[in-house]
Chains A and B, each alone.
Chain A
């Protein structure tokens, strides 16, 4: 079963079409990770699937209905989006930021309720930011800040969560913590996650379903064990690398061939 799928979509900006006939089915309750070189259209695909960008052709289906025909708020109650590098207004506190995630559940008549309070506290607890709930977001470190944004999307209480490069510019340890948090949401709470990532080994380690894109098309998708191979990395990224299995975790990692080895060879 799948609640979110893309059917033959073409999309882009102004004159340039970036996505060309993309079909993608997002498996429920799993972590789907999109990778591909810069400009391959992975962010565009994410935005199109989140209804931010209307496709020029084709359809995105949410629960079987064309997402463009649904109203903005009803989509936001089912599907949460964390765009790339969001910026909080100066001085906004963590609690205030997370509380914005309740927006799709509120209206003029139905303002702040107990359910909102519970959702916000729960989201801050899950994201591990409850201790600095009353601090201003712009005084926190990059990793803490990113957790605040994740908490905001969590407070939205949507089954589907789409994230665009949530780990960029973070230390490796912080990236790993964040990915543990995100995959936990899928595996322990049944949420469906779609994440655009830059870091290849991280993608291979955490994806249940890996999608590799190039030039606006999907080149391969499936279990990382099947598609995360030396040949694919060469084909998609034009990257020379070995793919190894880490004996400790059983996960695949990619090790790029470095220039240094060639220099030493040349010196000999």
Chain B
């Protein structure tokens, strides 16, 4: 009995205690962020990084490295990590599926597919269009996966959704490969991006999608308390005064914007949206009111940290960030499937 009580979590229902992890995570985020900027081919002292951020001196070469090369990449990691984790947490709540994740349910591949097709087949290389193209791809894939899983006998269960997501991802991934074979040259600049990379990304794209993603992040956190109510079933939610149809549409919009924005910025990074909410649950419990904001913060810390590893693991070369998130995420996915289907 006391053991069972001990496994339940600190945060539950006590706002003061529940917010207690936020300062810790913010400190961790700032530390990881500064460290991320400091390490690299030319290691910089943290004090120099700090100076470059608060009192930039254009004649100081170290400051230029920080501002022009390293800061954008660190910022990208924060935004993408927070977005994918928050999107994953919302998806797990809405679909009542602990295996939900923008990657596993086909949204990231859908966004990547749309970008590749627009880029190579229709020649849309302007960055201004990329986020919109990615959004339509993510939305299209989400709708297809949902309808396939609905048609399965037994309805949209976690398993049927995951399988439909895998099938749609595999199919779109194959078409991406075919396009690759037919357009070797134009494809070259997408090749690294498709493995999920934070390196060498053009930061101006962040100015196009950043504001949308910020709105979606805030919207997701504001909607989070309703996600717990929705996770108890449509009828319970309606009985408690939630307009479920409108809420689902809002949540879908948030998830699509966050996923598509992340894909446009950093390519299809896998498993972040799956891993982080499950880690966060260990601390805050099962109420999405807390899971969602914590997932955003933890996801940012996680991706910044993973990217540090990607940059320093095998000098002087770099590993693609998406390869590391997959190496960490895939075993956890297998673990969750084993636990769920036992």
| Residues of A near any B CB (own CB < 8 A) | 47, 50-52, 72-77, 80-83, 86-93, 95-97, 99-101, 103-104, 106, 108, 111-112, 134-136, 139, 153, 156
Given contact pairs A81-B235, A82-B236, A112-B15, enumerate 8 new A-B contacts (beta carbons under 8 Å): A50-B239, A52-B235, A74-B241, A86-B233, A89-B228, A89-B286, A90-B286, A103-B242
In the complex, the chain B residue whose C-beta lies closest to that of A99 is: B13
- B239, A87: Cβ atoms closer than 8 Å: no
- Interface pair B239/A80, CB less than 8 Å apart: yes
Q: Which chain A residues border B233 with CB–CB below 8 Å?
A: 83, 86-87
Evaluate whether A135 and B8 lie within 8 angstroms (CB atoms) in the complex, with A86-B232, A90-B286, A100-B229 already known.
Answer: yes
**Binary CB contact string for chain B from 240 to 267 against chain A (1 if under 8 A, 0 otherwise):** 1111000000000000000000000000
Q: Which of B1-57 contact A (CB under 8 A)?
A: 4-5, 7-9, 12-13, 15
Residue pair A134, B8 in contact (C-beta under 8 Å): yes
Asked if residues B222 and A52 are in contact (CB atoms below 8 Å), the reply is no
Is B98 an interface residue when CB atoms closer than 8 A count as contact? Answer: yes
Interface residues of B in 91-131 (CB under 8 A from A): 93, 96, 98
Question: Given known contacts A83-B235, A92-B286, A134-B5, is B240 in contact with A103 (CB within 8 Å)?
Answer: yes
Q: List 11 A-B contacts (CB under 8 A).
A: A52-B239, A72-B238, A72-B241, A76-B239, A86-B236, A90-B98, A93-B12, A112-B13, A112-B15, A135-B8, A136-B286
A103 touches B241 (CB 8 A): yes
Q: Give A85's nearest chain B residue, CB to CB.
A: B233
Q: B18 to chain A: closest CB distance in Å?
A: 10
Taken together as a complex, chains A and B put the C-alpha atoms of A86 and B287 apart, in Å, by 17
Give the residues from 173 to 229 in chain B that come closer than 8 angstroms, CB to CB, to chain A: 222, 225-226, 228-229
> Within 8 Å of chain A (Cβ to Cβ): is B231?
yes
How many residue pairs between the two chains, A and B, have CB atoms under 8 Å in the bound complex? 99
Distance of A134 Cα from B281 Cα, bound (Å): 15
Q: Is the CB of B285 within 8 A of A93?
A: yes
Chain A residues, CB < 8 A from B13: 93, 95-96, 99, 112
> Would you call A88 and B235 a contact (CB within 8 A)?
no
Q: State whether B239 touches A82 (Cβ < 8 A).
A: yes
Give the complex CA separation of A159 and B88 in angstroms: 38
Over the window 255-297 of chain B, the binary record of Cβ atoms lying under 8 Å from chain A Cβ atoms (1 yes, 0 no) is 0000000000000000000000000010001110000000000
- With A50-B239, A103-B240 known to touch, is A88 a contact of B12 (CB < 8 Å)? no
In B155-176, which residues have CB < 8 Å from any A CB?
none
6 closest cross-chain pairs (CB), A and B: A76-B241, A81-B239, A83-B235, A91-B286, A73-B241, A104-B241
Chain B residues with Cβ under 8 A from A89's Cβ?
A: 93, 96, 228, 231-232, 286
CB of A104 within 8 A of CB of B5, answer no
Contacts of A82 in B (CB 8 A): 236, 239
Whether the pair B232, A77 counts as a contact (CB closer than 8 A) is no
Q: Which of A89, A93, A95, A136 has the most CB of B within 10 A?
A: A89
Closest to A162 in B: B239
Q: Are A100 and B232 in contact (CB under 8 A)?
A: yes
